[in-house]
Chain A
Amino acid sequence: MHGFANPARFLRIARWATPLCLLLGVALAALSMGWGVFFGPADALQGDTVRIVYLHVPTAWLGMGGWSTIAIASFCEIVWRHPLAGMAARAAALPGAVFAAICLITGSIWGRPAWGTWWVWDGRLTSMLVLFFLYCGYMALDAAARGQGQGAGQGQSRMTALFGLVGAVNIPVIHYSVTWWNSLHQPPSITMGKSAMAAAFLWPLLVAVLGYSLIFGGVVLARMRTILADEQAEARLRRKAMRASSDAEGW
Protein backbone atom coordinates (compact mmCIF):
# COMPACT_ATOMS: atom_id res chain seq x y z
CA MET A 1 0.00 0.00 0.00
CA HIS A 2 2.86 2.36 0.87
CA GLY A 3 4.24 1.90 -2.64
CA PHE A 4 1.22 3.73 -4.07
CA ALA A 5 1.92 6.72 -1.81
CA ASN A 6 4.75 7.68 -4.17
CA PRO A 7 3.33 10.56 -6.28
CA ALA A 8 5.40 9.66 -9.38
CA ARG A 9 4.17 6.06 -9.34
CA PHE A 10 0.65 7.26 -8.59
CA LEU A 11 0.72 9.58 -11.62
CA ARG A 12 1.99 6.77 -13.89
CA ILE A 13 -0.97 4.58 -12.88
CA ALA A 14 -3.54 7.40 -12.76
CA ARG A 15 -2.66 8.55 -16.29
CA TRP A 16 -4.34 5.51 -17.87
CA ALA A 17 -6.64 4.56 -14.96
CA THR A 18 -8.52 7.90 -15.04
CA PRO A 19 -9.92 7.71 -18.60
CA LEU A 20 -10.46 3.95 -18.22
CA CYS A 21 -12.61 4.41 -15.08
CA LEU A 22 -14.55 7.32 -16.57
CA LEU A 23 -15.30 5.71 -19.94
CA LEU A 24 -16.18 2.30 -18.51
CA GLY A 25 -18.23 3.96 -15.75
CA VAL A 26 -20.25 6.12 -18.15
CA ALA A 27 -20.85 3.11 -20.44
CA LEU A 28 -22.05 0.89 -17.56
CA ALA A 29 -24.20 3.66 -16.05
CA ALA A 30 -25.84 4.29 -19.44
CA LEU A 31 -26.31 0.54 -19.98
CA SER A 32 -27.98 0.05 -16.58
CA MET A 33 -30.20 3.10 -17.11
CA GLY A 34 -31.35 1.89 -20.54
CA TRP A 35 -31.82 -1.65 -19.26
CA GLY A 36 -33.78 -0.62 -16.17
CA VAL A 37 -35.86 2.12 -17.73
CA PHE A 38 -36.74 0.63 -21.14
CA PHE A 39 -36.44 -3.16 -20.76
CA GLY A 40 -36.80 -3.87 -17.05
CA PRO A 41 -40.17 -4.67 -15.45
CA ALA A 42 -42.37 -2.27 -13.47
CA ASP A 43 -42.92 -2.90 -9.78
CA ALA A 44 -46.12 -4.68 -8.71
CA LEU A 45 -47.05 -1.97 -6.21
CA GLN A 46 -45.29 1.17 -7.44
CA GLY A 47 -45.50 0.69 -11.19
CA ASP A 48 -43.05 2.64 -13.35
CA THR A 49 -42.05 4.97 -10.49
CA VAL A 50 -39.66 2.29 -9.27
CA ARG A 51 -37.29 2.90 -12.20
CA ILE A 52 -35.75 5.90 -10.43
CA VAL A 53 -34.12 3.32 -8.14
CA TYR A 54 -31.32 2.89 -10.72
CA LEU A 55 -30.20 6.46 -10.01
CA HIS A 56 -31.29 6.86 -6.39
CA VAL A 57 -29.60 3.83 -4.82
CA PRO A 58 -26.15 4.10 -6.51
CA THR A 59 -25.93 7.83 -5.71
CA ALA A 60 -26.99 7.17 -2.11
CA TRP A 61 -24.30 4.51 -1.67
CA LEU A 62 -21.65 6.70 -3.28
CA GLY A 63 -22.71 9.71 -1.22
CA MET A 64 -21.83 7.57 1.79
CA GLY A 65 -18.84 6.01 0.00
CA GLY A 66 -17.44 9.49 -0.64
CA TRP A 67 -17.33 10.29 3.06
CA SER A 68 -15.91 6.85 3.85
CA THR A 69 -13.11 7.70 1.40
CA ILE A 70 -12.53 11.04 3.16
CA ALA A 71 -12.47 9.34 6.58
CA ILE A 72 -10.09 6.51 5.60
CA ALA A 73 -7.79 8.91 3.72
CA SER A 74 -7.82 11.34 6.65
CA PHE A 75 -6.92 8.48 9.00
CA CYS A 76 -3.96 7.54 6.78
CA GLU A 77 -2.84 11.16 6.59
CA ILE A 78 -3.05 11.73 10.35
CA VAL A 79 -1.22 8.50 11.24
CA TRP A 80 1.30 8.03 8.40
CA ARG A 81 1.47 11.64 7.12
CA HIS A 82 1.03 10.61 3.50
CA PRO A 83 0.31 13.82 1.56
CA LEU A 84 -1.26 11.72 -1.23
CA ALA A 85 -3.87 10.45 1.25
CA GLY A 86 -4.76 14.04 2.10
CA MET A 87 -5.11 14.82 -1.59
CA ALA A 88 -7.42 11.81 -2.00
CA ALA A 89 -9.63 13.11 0.82
CA ARG A 90 -9.79 16.59 -0.71
CA ALA A 91 -10.50 15.12 -4.15
CA ALA A 92 -13.36 12.94 -2.88
CA ALA A 93 -15.32 15.78 -1.24
CA LEU A 94 -16.89 17.39 -4.32
CA PRO A 95 -18.02 14.19 -6.13
CA GLY A 96 -19.32 12.84 -2.80
CA ALA A 97 -21.34 16.01 -2.25
CA VAL A 98 -22.74 15.86 -5.79
CA PHE A 99 -23.79 12.22 -5.33
CA ALA A 100 -25.41 13.03 -1.96
CA ALA A 101 -27.29 15.92 -3.59
CA ILE A 102 -28.50 13.71 -6.49
CA CYS A 103 -29.63 11.11 -3.93
CA LEU A 104 -31.63 13.75 -2.00
CA ILE A 105 -33.19 15.19 -5.17
CA THR A 106 -34.15 11.81 -6.72
CA GLY A 107 -35.41 10.65 -3.31
CA SER A 108 -37.65 13.70 -3.09
CA ILE A 109 -38.96 13.14 -6.62
CA TRP A 110 -39.62 9.47 -5.77
CA GLY A 111 -41.22 10.32 -2.42
CA ARG A 112 -43.99 12.41 -3.96
CA PRO A 113 -45.69 9.57 -5.92
CA ALA A 114 -44.67 6.72 -3.59
CA TRP A 115 -45.30 8.18 -0.14
CA GLY A 116 -47.37 11.23 -0.97
CA THR A 117 -44.82 13.80 0.19
CA TRP A 118 -41.70 15.53 -1.14
CA TRP A 119 -39.95 15.55 2.20
CA VAL A 120 -40.37 14.35 5.78
CA TRP A 121 -38.03 14.75 8.74
CA ASP A 122 -37.57 11.06 9.44
CA GLY A 123 -34.26 9.52 10.51
CA ARG A 124 -33.04 8.44 7.08
CA LEU A 125 -33.84 11.63 5.18
CA THR A 126 -32.53 13.89 7.94
CA SER A 127 -29.24 12.02 8.39
CA MET A 128 -28.69 12.05 4.60
CA LEU A 129 -29.28 15.82 4.53
CA VAL A 130 -26.79 16.15 7.41
CA LEU A 131 -24.27 14.24 5.27
CA PHE A 132 -24.72 16.79 2.47
CA PHE A 133 -24.17 19.66 4.93
CA LEU A 134 -21.07 17.87 6.27
CA TYR A 135 -19.65 17.83 2.73
CA CYS A 136 -20.34 21.58 2.40
CA GLY A 137 -18.67 22.20 5.77
CA TYR A 138 -15.69 20.05 4.83
CA MET A 139 -15.13 21.92 1.56
CA ALA A 140 -15.50 25.31 3.27
CA LEU A 141 -13.07 24.29 6.03
CA ASP A 142 -10.57 22.97 3.48
CA ALA A 143 -10.76 26.17 1.43
CA ALA A 144 -10.39 28.35 4.54
CA ALA A 145 -7.39 26.39 5.88
CA ARG A 146 -5.78 26.50 2.44
CA GLY A 147 -6.33 30.26 2.25
CA GLN A 148 -4.42 30.63 5.53
CA GLY A 149 -1.55 28.57 4.16
CA GLN A 150 -2.17 25.59 6.47
CA GLY A 151 -1.68 22.00 5.35
CA ALA A 152 1.60 20.51 4.22
CA GLY A 153 2.01 20.70 0.43
CA GLN A 154 -1.36 19.87 -1.12
CA GLY A 155 -2.62 17.63 1.71
CA GLN A 156 -5.30 18.60 4.21
CA SER A 157 -4.74 20.81 7.23
CA ARG A 158 -4.89 18.91 10.52
CA MET A 159 -8.27 20.45 11.37
CA THR A 160 -9.74 19.39 8.00
CA ALA A 161 -8.47 15.82 8.45
CA LEU A 162 -9.96 15.62 11.96
CA PHE A 163 -13.27 16.95 10.64
CA GLY A 164 -13.23 14.25 7.94
CA LEU A 165 -12.63 11.59 10.57
CA VAL A 166 -15.25 12.84 13.06
CA GLY A 167 -17.89 13.29 10.34
CA ALA A 168 -17.73 9.55 9.67
CA VAL A 169 -19.93 9.04 12.77
CA ASN A 170 -22.86 9.98 10.54
CA ILE A 171 -22.29 7.06 8.12
CA PRO A 172 -23.49 4.23 10.42
CA VAL A 173 -26.28 6.55 11.62
CA ILE A 174 -27.53 6.84 8.02
CA HIS A 175 -27.27 3.08 7.51
CA TYR A 176 -29.04 2.07 10.73
CA SER A 177 -31.52 4.98 10.86
CA VAL A 178 -34.23 2.77 9.35
CA THR A 179 -33.53 -0.07 11.81
CA TRP A 180 -33.07 1.88 15.03
CA TRP A 181 -36.01 4.25 14.61
CA ASN A 182 -39.45 4.10 13.04
CA SER A 183 -39.14 5.90 9.73
CA LEU A 184 -41.13 6.52 6.60
CA HIS A 185 -38.22 5.20 4.53
CA GLN A 186 -38.30 1.42 4.21
CA PRO A 187 -35.48 -0.82 5.57
CA PRO A 188 -32.68 -1.79 3.16
CA SER A 189 -33.69 -4.16 0.34
CA ILE A 190 -30.17 -5.44 -0.16
CA THR A 191 -28.22 -6.66 2.84
CA MET A 192 -25.20 -8.96 3.07
CA GLY A 193 -25.95 -11.91 0.78
CA LYS A 194 -29.71 -11.30 0.78
CA SER A 195 -32.01 -9.35 -1.48
CA ALA A 196 -35.70 -8.56 -1.06
CA MET A 197 -35.53 -7.30 -4.62
CA ALA A 198 -36.44 -9.58 -7.53
CA ALA A 199 -33.51 -10.45 -9.81
CA ALA A 200 -35.06 -8.39 -12.65
CA PHE A 201 -34.45 -5.24 -10.54
CA LEU A 202 -31.29 -6.39 -8.80
CA TRP A 203 -29.09 -7.03 -11.86
CA PRO A 204 -29.44 -3.64 -13.57
CA LEU A 205 -29.07 -2.03 -10.14
CA LEU A 206 -25.77 -3.83 -9.49
CA VAL A 207 -24.49 -2.78 -12.94
CA ALA A 208 -25.52 0.81 -12.11
CA VAL A 209 -23.68 0.67 -8.77
CA LEU A 210 -20.53 -0.58 -10.52
CA GLY A 211 -20.81 2.08 -13.24
CA TYR A 212 -21.33 5.03 -10.87
CA SER A 213 -18.55 3.73 -8.60
CA LEU A 214 -16.17 3.78 -11.57
CA ILE A 215 -17.29 7.33 -12.42
CA PHE A 216 -16.65 8.34 -8.80
CA GLY A 217 -13.20 6.70 -8.85
CA GLY A 218 -12.36 8.36 -12.19
CA VAL A 219 -13.39 11.82 -10.94
CA VAL A 220 -11.35 11.37 -7.73
CA LEU A 221 -8.28 10.31 -9.76
CA ALA A 222 -8.71 13.24 -12.17
CA ARG A 223 -9.02 15.69 -9.26
CA MET A 224 -5.96 14.22 -7.54
CA ARG A 225 -3.96 14.68 -10.74
CA THR A 226 -5.14 18.31 -10.88
CA ILE A 227 -4.09 18.86 -7.26
CA LEU A 228 -0.64 17.33 -7.98
CA ALA A 229 -0.26 19.44 -11.14
CA ASP A 230 -1.14 22.55 -9.10
CA GLU A 231 1.54 21.65 -6.59
CA GLN A 232 4.16 21.18 -9.32
CA ALA A 233 3.22 24.49 -10.96
CA GLU A 234 3.49 26.30 -7.64
CA ALA A 235 6.87 24.73 -6.87
CA ARG A 236 8.13 25.73 -10.32
CA LEU A 237 6.94 29.32 -9.82
CA ARG A 238 8.65 29.44 -6.41
CA ARG A 239 11.94 28.20 -7.90
CA LYS A 240 11.66 30.73 -10.71
CA ALA A 241 11.01 33.58 -8.26
CA MET A 242 13.99 32.50 -6.13
CA ARG A 243 16.27 32.31 -9.16
CA ALA A 244 15.06 35.75 -10.32
CA SER A 245 15.80 37.30 -6.92
CA SER A 246 19.27 35.69 -6.71
CA ASP A 247 20.02 36.91 -10.25
CA ALA A 248 18.99 40.40 -9.18
CA GLU A 249 21.38 40.23 -6.23
CA GLY A 250 24.18 39.22 -8.61
CA TRP A 251 23.79 42.47 -10.48
Chain B
Amino acid sequence: MNKATGIKAKHQRLVLVAIALVALVGAGLLATWALRNQASYFYVPADILANPPEADRAVRLGGMVERDSMKNAADGVTVEFIVTDGKARVPVRFAGIRPALFVEGSGVVAEGHLGSNGTFVADNLLAKHDEKYVPREMQNMTTDEARKAVAQTK
Protein backbone atom coordinates (compact mmCIF):
# COMPACT_ATOMS: atom_id res chain seq x y z
CA MET B 1 0.00 0.00 0.00
CA ASN B 2 2.44 2.62 1.22
CA LYS B 3 4.87 2.38 -1.67
CA ALA B 4 6.59 5.69 -0.92
CA THR B 5 8.03 4.46 2.37
CA GLY B 6 8.20 0.80 1.47
CA ILE B 7 6.20 -0.31 4.52
CA LYS B 8 3.78 -3.18 4.01
CA ALA B 9 0.19 -2.47 5.01
CA LYS B 10 0.09 -5.37 7.45
CA HIS B 11 3.22 -4.14 9.23
CA GLN B 12 1.70 -0.69 9.48
CA ARG B 13 -1.44 -2.21 11.01
CA LEU B 14 0.67 -4.30 13.40
CA VAL B 15 2.49 -1.22 14.69
CA LEU B 16 -0.73 0.80 14.95
CA VAL B 17 -2.56 -1.94 16.85
CA ALA B 18 0.46 -2.49 19.13
CA ILE B 19 0.60 1.23 19.98
CA ALA B 20 -3.17 1.29 20.56
CA LEU B 21 -2.89 -1.74 22.86
CA VAL B 22 -0.10 -0.15 24.91
CA ALA B 23 -2.20 3.01 25.29
CA LEU B 24 -5.23 0.90 26.22
CA VAL B 25 -3.37 -1.12 28.87
CA GLY B 26 -1.90 2.11 30.25
CA ALA B 27 -5.37 3.66 30.48
CA GLY B 28 -6.71 0.52 32.16
CA LEU B 29 -3.90 0.50 34.73
CA LEU B 30 -4.41 4.22 35.49
CA ALA B 31 -8.15 3.66 35.91
CA THR B 32 -7.71 0.71 38.28
CA TRP B 33 -5.03 2.65 40.20
CA ALA B 34 -7.45 5.56 40.59
CA LEU B 35 -10.12 3.13 41.77
CA ARG B 36 -7.92 1.44 44.35
CA ASN B 37 -9.74 3.00 47.31
CA GLN B 38 -13.27 3.06 45.92
CA ALA B 39 -13.19 -0.49 44.54
CA SER B 40 -12.20 -2.12 47.82
CA TYR B 41 -15.02 -4.08 49.34
CA PHE B 42 -14.20 -3.31 52.97
CA TYR B 43 -11.94 -1.32 55.29
CA VAL B 44 -9.36 -3.15 57.38
CA PRO B 45 -9.11 -2.22 61.10
CA ALA B 46 -6.05 -0.01 60.46
CA ASP B 47 -8.08 2.07 57.94
CA ILE B 48 -10.99 2.43 60.36
CA LEU B 49 -8.76 3.60 63.22
CA ALA B 50 -6.73 5.97 61.01
CA ASN B 51 -9.79 7.58 59.37
CA PRO B 52 -12.82 6.79 61.53
CA PRO B 53 -16.05 7.04 59.48
CA GLU B 54 -18.79 9.34 60.82
CA ALA B 55 -21.10 7.62 63.30
CA ASP B 56 -24.13 6.00 61.60
CA ARG B 57 -22.43 5.90 58.19
CA ALA B 58 -22.76 2.37 56.80
CA VAL B 59 -19.34 0.81 56.17
CA ARG B 60 -17.86 -2.67 55.92
CA LEU B 61 -15.06 -3.85 58.18
CA GLY B 62 -13.00 -6.87 57.16
CA GLY B 63 -10.23 -8.84 58.80
CA MET B 64 -9.48 -11.92 60.84
CA VAL B 65 -11.51 -12.90 63.90
CA GLU B 66 -8.92 -12.86 66.67
CA ARG B 67 -8.49 -16.20 68.42
CA ASP B 68 -10.08 -16.51 71.89
CA SER B 69 -11.83 -13.17 71.43
CA MET B 70 -15.34 -14.49 70.72
CA LYS B 71 -17.80 -13.98 73.58
CA ASN B 72 -21.37 -15.21 73.35
CA ALA B 73 -23.89 -13.12 75.29
CA ALA B 74 -26.49 -14.70 77.58
CA ASP B 75 -29.35 -13.90 75.16
CA GLY B 76 -27.99 -16.54 72.74
CA VAL B 77 -27.93 -14.36 69.62
CA THR B 78 -25.47 -11.59 70.45
CA VAL B 79 -21.78 -12.21 69.91
CA GLU B 80 -18.80 -9.96 70.56
CA PHE B 81 -15.42 -10.49 68.96
CA ILE B 82 -12.33 -8.61 67.84
CA VAL B 83 -11.41 -8.11 64.18
CA THR B 84 -7.71 -7.66 63.51
CA ASP B 85 -5.46 -7.14 60.49
CA GLY B 86 -2.24 -7.68 62.42
CA LYS B 87 -1.75 -3.92 62.91
CA ALA B 88 -4.94 -2.79 64.61
CA ARG B 89 -7.90 -4.33 66.45
CA VAL B 90 -11.54 -3.31 66.39
CA PRO B 91 -14.17 -4.83 68.73
CA VAL B 92 -17.37 -5.86 66.95
CA ARG B 93 -20.86 -6.62 68.28
CA PHE B 94 -23.41 -8.55 66.25
CA ALA B 95 -26.87 -9.97 67.00
CA GLY B 96 -28.31 -12.38 64.49
CA ILE B 97 -27.70 -15.50 62.47
CA ARG B 98 -23.99 -16.13 61.83
CA PRO B 99 -22.70 -17.78 58.65
CA ALA B 100 -21.54 -21.38 59.08
CA LEU B 101 -17.92 -20.57 58.28
CA PHE B 102 -17.73 -17.76 60.85
CA VAL B 103 -15.09 -19.10 63.28
CA GLU B 104 -12.16 -17.74 65.27
CA GLY B 105 -8.95 -17.41 63.28
CA SER B 106 -10.87 -17.09 60.00
CA GLY B 107 -11.80 -14.08 57.89
CA VAL B 108 -14.95 -12.03 58.32
CA VAL B 109 -16.59 -9.02 56.67
CA ALA B 110 -18.95 -7.12 58.99
CA GLU B 111 -21.51 -4.69 57.54
CA GLY B 112 -22.62 -1.97 59.95
CA HIS B 113 -21.37 1.25 61.52
CA LEU B 114 -18.80 2.38 64.04
CA GLY B 115 -20.46 3.18 67.38
CA SER B 116 -19.43 6.21 69.43
CA ASN B 117 -17.66 4.04 72.00
CA GLY B 118 -15.35 2.55 69.35
CA THR B 119 -17.26 -0.73 69.04
CA PHE B 120 -18.32 -1.64 65.52
CA VAL B 121 -22.01 -2.57 65.48
CA ALA B 122 -22.65 -5.09 62.71
CA ASP B 123 -26.03 -5.63 61.00
CA ASN B 124 -24.75 -8.54 58.92
CA LEU B 125 -21.76 -10.87 58.90
CA LEU B 126 -20.16 -12.45 55.84
CA ALA B 127 -17.60 -15.23 56.22
CA LYS B 128 -14.44 -14.81 54.18
CA HIS B 129 -12.41 -17.98 53.76
CA ASP B 130 -8.84 -18.21 52.54
CA GLU B 131 -7.48 -19.84 49.39
CA LYS B 132 -6.36 -23.04 51.15
CA TYR B 133 -8.27 -26.26 50.57
CA VAL B 134 -7.36 -29.15 52.88
CA PRO B 135 -9.12 -32.49 53.46
CA ARG B 136 -10.46 -32.96 56.98
CA GLU B 137 -8.06 -35.78 57.83
CA MET B 138 -5.04 -33.64 57.03
CA GLN B 139 -6.01 -30.33 58.63
CA ASN B 140 -4.09 -30.83 61.88
CA MET B 141 -1.02 -32.32 60.23
CA THR B 142 2.08 -30.43 59.29
CA THR B 143 3.20 -30.63 55.67
CA ASP B 144 5.70 -33.39 56.48
CA GLU B 145 3.14 -35.49 58.32
CA ALA B 146 0.69 -35.08 55.48
CA ARG B 147 3.33 -36.15 52.99
CA LYS B 148 4.05 -39.28 55.06
CA ALA B 149 0.35 -40.08 55.30
CA VAL B 150 -0.01 -39.74 51.54
CA ALA B 151 3.09 -41.91 50.97
CA GLN B 152 1.65 -44.65 53.22
CA THR B 153 -1.54 -44.93 51.22
CA LYS B 154 0.32 -45.59 47.98
Residues of A near any B CB (own CB < 8 A): 41-46, 50, 53, 75, 78-81, 113-117, 120-123, 165-166, 169, 172-173, 176-177, 180-184, 186-189, 196-201
> Which A residue sits closest to B47, measured CB to CB?
A182
Q: What does DSSP make chain B's interface, helix, strand, loop or mixed?
A: mixed
A-B contacts besides A44-B136, A45-B134, A188-B131, 10 pairs, CB < 8 Å: A78-B13, A79-B17, A113-B100, A114-B127, A169-B27, A180-B36, A180-B39, A181-B39, A184-B126, A198-B133
CB distance from A241 to the nearest CB of B (A): 33
Contacts A173-B32, A181-B41: A198 and B138 contacting too (C-beta < 8 A)? yes
Contact B126–A169 (Cβ < 8 Å):
no
Q: How far does the alpha carbon of A45 sit from the alpha carbon of B101 in the complex, in Å? A: 7
**Chain A contacts of B129 at CB under 8 A?**
45-46, 114-115, 186
> Which A residue sits closest to B98, measured CB to CB?
A116
**Chain B contacts of A116 at CB under 8 A?**
98-102, 124-127
**Number of A-B residue pairs having CB atoms within 8 Å of each other in the complex:** 120
Contacts A182-B41, A198-B138: A115 and B133 contacting too (C-beta < 8 A)? no
Contact A187–B36 (Cβ < 8 Å):
no
| Interface residue from B17, B25, B27, B109 paired with A184 (Cβ < 8 Å) | B109
**Chain B contacts of A196 at CB under 8 A?**
130-133
> Which A residue sits closest to B9, measured CB to CB?
A81
Contact B135–A198 (Cβ < 8 Å):
yes
**Chain B contacts of A169 at CB under 8 A?**
24-25, 27-28
**Chain B contacts of A176 at CB under 8 A?**
32
Contact B109–A42 (Cβ < 8 Å):
no
**Chain A contacts of B58 at CB under 8 A?**
none
**B10 part of interface (Cβ distance < 8 Å):** yes
Q: How far does the alpha carbon of A115 sit from the alpha carbon of B108 in the complex, in Å? A: 9
**Chain B contacts of A43 at CB under 8 A?**
133-136
**Chain B contacts of A200 at CB under 8 A?**
135
Q: How far does the alpha carbon of A197 sit from the alpha carbon of B138 in the complex, in Å? A: 12
Contact A123–B134 (Cβ < 8 Å):
no
CB distance from A167 to the nearest CB of B (A): 10
> Which A residue sits closest to B38, measured CB to CB?
A181
**B44 part of interface (Cβ distance < 8 Å):** yes
